[in-house]
Amino acid sequence: MAKYRVRVNQDKLKQLKEQLAPSKSWWGLVGIVVFFFIPEIVAYFKGDEIIKYFASLESSANSASMKYLYKSLKSLGENSYFNIALGLLFTVWFFKIKFKK
């Protein structure tokens, strides 16, 4: 069997890596705040009201699928420590890498 050697141009690989790397912008930070932190803040202050509202809708629902939907929506009133941790990790990742201008 013949062995083949492939020559790789390191400069081209570095250029491709830079092109494929996700660029950071302030819209990314806004997205992290909107999708990870604001829902948890709302759930902290208005969680009981959210749970009561969807519990009343669940009790008045006729079909099993709607009851399941309202039961799962009641979890919006609870704080998710996983979302908070994930938001913190994304925030650290966001500020760790330099911005591209």
Domain boundaries, the chain: 47-96
What is the identity of the amino acid at 11?
Answer: D
Distance CA 50, CA 1 (A): 68
Distance CA 94, CA 96 (A): 6
Distance CA 83, CA 64 (A): 29
Q: Which residue has the higher pLDDT, 6 or 17?
A: 17
Q: Per-residue pLDDT averaged across 66-95, rounded? A: 86
pLDDT at 76: 79
What would the pLDDT profile of 8-57 be if each residue is shown by its tens digit?
678 888 888 888 877 778 888 899 999 999 999 998 999 899 888 888 88
Choose among 24, 40, 27, 35: nearest CA to 79: 40
